[in-house]
Amino acid sequence: MAKIEIYTQPYCPYCSRAKALLESKGADFEETDVSMDSALKQAMMMRAGGRRTVPQIFIDDRLIGGCDDLYALDAKGGLDPLLGPKA
C-alpha cells in the first residue's frame, strides 16, 4: 500500500473532505496538524513548493496538492492506481 501523508488543520472543511475520500477508499494515511507548529508548517510549505493552504497531500512523496486536486485526480481515475492494492 502507498505511503500517504496529509497536512491538516482542525476545523478545516477541505481537510475533512480529503480525509473522507481517502477513508472511503480504505487508505491509511499519516496526518500532520500544522496549526500550532510553525516549523511543521514551514516543512509542509517547502515540500509543497511554497503552497500555504491545507490540506497538502503526498502519496509516496509525490505532491498531489489540496482537496480539489485529490478529487480531480479521483474523477479522472488516477487516484486508485496510486493507492495500490486494497489491503
State pTM to two decimals: 0.94
Residue range(s) defining the domain that contains residue 8: 4-83
50: left (phi over 0), alpha (psi -120 to 50) or beta: left
Tell me the per-residue pLDDT of 13-59, one tens digit each, with 9 for 90 and over: 999 999 999 999 999 999 999 999 999 999 999 999 999 999 999 99
Structural domains in the chain (count):
1
The CATH number of the domain holding residue 49 is 3.40.30.10
Check: CB of residue 44 under 8 Å from CB of residue 34. Answer: yes
pLDDT at res. 87:
45
Check: CB of residue 57 under 8 Å from CB of residue 69. Answer: yes
pLDDT at res. 15:
98
